[in-house]
Amino acid sequence: AASDKVRIIEVGPRDGLQNEKKSIPLATKVELTERLAHTGVPVIEAASFVAPKWVPQMASSAEVMEHVLRQPPPSPVPVLYQFLCPNQKGMDNFFKVLDSAPLTPPPSPSSTSSKQDKPEVELSIFTAATESFTRKNTNCSMAESLERFKPIFSTAKARNIGVRAYISVALGCPYEGPNVDPHAVANLAVTLLEMGANEISVADTTGMGTVPRTKKLLETLSQAGVRAEDIALHFHDTYAQALPNTIVGLEHGVRSYDTAVGGLGGCPYSPGATGNVATEDMVHMLHSLGLDTGVDMQRMAEIGEWINAELGKANESRAGKAFLAQ
Ligand code: HMG
Ligand code: MG
C-alpha cells in the first residue's frame, strides 16, 4: 500500500556540510552525492546557491551541480536533486548551470532513445516562522522573504521546475525560544502552498521540538487545511527527540522526512544546534515499523562512516555504527 512507503530526503550534502569550518574538497562533495545516489534514496539535496560571504562552504555549489547533472541516472531508482536557493540571484546561478549542462548521453549505442534527459532537479527555498531568525539567516523580514520568492515561483513554473519550501524554527527559535506560535507556521505554510510550493518542509532547526509541541503543530497545520501529503518533517537531533517526533509525524500521516547520512549538519545561524537526524537511524526505525524506504542500510551506513572520517568527526549515527559492527 502507498501508505507503507516513506520518502527520505537526504540533505547531508547541503545541510550536512554547510556548517563545516574547514573547506571540504570538491571531490569529496561529489563523491558523497554519487554514493548517496546509489543507496536507493529518492531525493538528495545536493548543494545551495546562497551568498558565499554568508556560507563559504557552499561556494562550490555550481561545480557540485555540474557533476550531478553529468551523472548517469542511477538505477533502478532515479534521484531527484534539490538545490537550496534564497533569492533571485541564487535561482539565476542554478539556471546558469542547468542550461549549460550537456544532456546525459544514452547508456549504450543500441539504446532506442536518441537523447536522454538530465536528472530531475528542483529548487528549495527557505524562510522562517520568527522575525529574528529570518533576519539572522537571510537578512530580511518575513514579509520581504516572501517577496523574494515571487520571481522564483514564476520562473520555476515557466521552466517546469518544482519548488519546495522550508519553514525554519517551526518548533523553537535560537533567538525567541521554544514556544514558536504554531499558527505562524500554519499561516506561512498556507501562503507558500498558494504561491506554488509543491511541498513544505517543516523544520525543527534547533531540535527543541518535543512530542506534545510536535502534535500541537501538526494539528494546527491540519486545521489550517495543510494536508499531511503537503508536508515533510525536518528534524535536527540536538536533544535526541527526532525519532519520537517522527512517530508523531507518522501518526499524523506524514510520509516524507529529511535526514542526513551520519547525522551530519547544523545551521550556521542556529548556534549550538547539532546535525539532522541521521538517515541510518531513521531508516532503521522505519524498517522496524514495517515501512518501506527503498534505502539500502548497508550502503548508507558505510557512507556515514566514510564521510565522518573524511571530515575528522565521530559518526553520529547510533544505528549506522551498530549495523556495521554486527
Ligand atoms: P545580503 O547580504 O542581504 O544580500 O544577504 P545582498 O543582496 O545585499 O548581496 C550581498 C552580496 O552577496 C552581493 O555580492 C551579492 O551579489 C551576493 P557583492 O556585490 O557584495 O560582491 N549574493 C549572492 N551571491 C551568490 N548567491 C546568492 C547571492 N545573493 C546575494 N544567492 C542572502 C542575503 C539571502 C543572500 C544571505 O543572507 C544568504 O545567503 N543567506 C543564506 C544563509 C544560509 O545559507 N543559511 C543556511 C541554509 S538554511 C538552513 O540551514 C535551514 C534549513 O536546513 C531548514 C532548517 O533546519 O531550519 C533549510
Ligand atoms: Mg536544517
How high is the ipTM of this complex? 0.98
Which residue's alpha carbon is nearest to atom 36 within ligand 1?
A: 138
Could you give the CA distance from residue 19 to residue 17 in angstroms, rounded to a whole number?
A: 6
Task: List the one residue out of 269, 240, 176, 252 whose CA is nearest residue 214.
Answer: 252
Are 94 and 65 contacting, i.e. CB atoms less than 8 angstroms apart? yes
**Nearest ligand 1 atom to alpha carbon 168:** 57
Predicted confidence (pLDDT) at residue 1 exceeds the cutoff of 50: no
Tell me which residues are annotated as active site.
267
Which residue's alpha carbon is nearest to atom 34 within ligand 1?
A: 138
Residue 114 CA to ligand 2 center (angstroms) comes to: 40
The pLDDT of residue 175 is: 95
Ligand nearest to the CA of 128: 1
* DSSP-derived 3-state class of residue 312: coil
Query: Is the CB of residue 126 below 6 angstroms from any atom belonging to ligand 1?
Result: yes
The pLDDT of residue 160 is: 96
Q: Classify burial at 298, counting beta carbons within 10 Å of its beta carbon; exposed 0-12, middle 13-18, buried 19 or more.
A: exposed
Say which residue, 78 or 278, is predicted with more confidence: 278
Query: Is the CB of residue 141 below 6 angstroms from any atom belonging to ligand 1?
Result: no
Residue 234 CA to ligand 2 center (angstroms) comes to: 7
Total residues found in the chain within this entry: 326
- DSSP calls for 244-305: HHHHHHHHTT--EEEEBGGG----TTSTT--PBPBHHHHHHHHHHTT-B----HHHHHHHHH
150-163 confidence digits (pLDDT tens): 999 999 999 999 99
Non-local (6+) Cβ contacts of 247 within 8 A are: 211
Ligand nearest to the CA of 174: 1
Mean pLDDT for the stretch of residues 273-297: 96
**Nearest ligand 1 atom to alpha carbon 126:** 58
Ligand nearest to the CA of 126: 1
The pLDDT of residue 115 is: 55
The pLDDT of residue 78 is: 87
Query: Is the CB of residue 90 below 6 angstroms from any atom belonging to ligand 1?
Result: yes
Non-local (6+) Cβ contacts of 202 within 8 A are: 167, 170, 185, 189, 217, 221, 231, 232, 233, 234
The pLDDT of residue 210 is: 98
Confidence class of residue 266 from pLDDT cuts 50, 70 and 90? Answer: low
Query: Is the CB of residue 124 below 6 angstroms from any atom belonging to ligand 1?
Result: no
% of the chain surpassing 90 pLDDT:
87
Mean pLDDT for the stretch of residues 175-201: 98
Task: Name the residue of 54, 180, 236 to mutate for ligand 1: max ligand atoms within 8 A of Cβ.
Answer: 54
Non-local (6+) Cβ contacts of 142 within 8 A are: 127, 128, 130, 131, 134, 188
Query: Is the CB of residue 139 below 6 angstroms from any atom belonging to ligand 1?
Result: yes
Predicted confidence (pLDDT) at residue 76 exceeds the cutoff of 80: no
Cα of first residue to Cα of last residue in the chain, in angstroms, is: 31
Which residue's alpha carbon is nearest to atom 40 within ligand 1?
A: 138
**Helix, strand, coil shares, percent, the chain, to 5:** 45, 15, 40
Residue 86 CA to ligand 1 center (angstroms) comes to: 6
Q: For the whole model, what pTM was predicted?
A: 0.95
Which residue's alpha carbon is nearest to atom 50 within ligand 1?
A: 267
Cα radius of gyration (the chain): 19
Task: Name the residue of 53, 61, 163 to mutate for ligand 1: max ligand atoms within 8 A of Cβ.
Answer: 53
Could you give the CA distance from residue 103 to residue 72 in angstroms, rounded to a whole number?
A: 10
Distance (Å) of CA 197 to CA 104, 110, 231: 28, 40, 11
The pLDDT of residue 109 is: 61
Confidence class of residue 101 from pLDDT cuts 50, 70 and 90? Answer: confident
